[in-house]
Amino acid sequence: FANSTLGTIAEKCVDPILHQFQYLIFCKSSVQTLSDNIKKLELKETEVQQKVDRAKDNAEEIKPTVVDWLKRVEDVKKDAHTIFEGMETAKVNCFNIVRLPNLKSRYLLGRRAAKRMSVLEKLLAEGNFDEVGSIAPLGKMRFSESTPSLEKGLVSRMSTKKEVMEALKQEK
């Protein structure tokens, strides 16, 4: 009984402490893994952005989930870049002789990198969109600058119709 109780106490007390030390010990590998996954996410973002551009060219309305996903990707990328910049400055000069690691900075960076990894993995899983847009209702469909307005289009069609009708009357 005492052995199992001591094991439970050790598990409840020691495991959380060891988990916190992992942020410090594995800081560099966590940041490297984050960097690798950011590259994967950027490729996925480019792929989705190309689909969005094609959908916009086809006068489709972009789905809100896609717009939200792209926004969250940008937020995660910005946060990851601050972590990468922090790794550059995570060393402290000691008497202007030796650069030693700043343990607090490394711990915080390792922790932030580990937390961002779960968000990043979730975004990578969510980024598989078959369709990014849907056909917009006619009233909301946007026209490109090269497309004349509706009134100009009707006027030119009417003038073309008159010219054709006059040409047909002259042939008779």
Burial class (CB in 10 A: 0-12, 13-18, 19+), 113: buried
Tell me if the pTM is above 0.95: no
Average pLDDT over residues 149-163: 72
Residue 103 CB partners (closer than 8 Å, separation 6+): 24
| Closest among 18, 119, 28, 20 to 77, alpha carbons compared | 119
The answer to whether residue 58 scores a pLDDT higher than 80 is: yes
**Pair of tokens at residue 72:** 């969250």
The answer to whether residue 8 scores a pLDDT higher than 60 is: yes
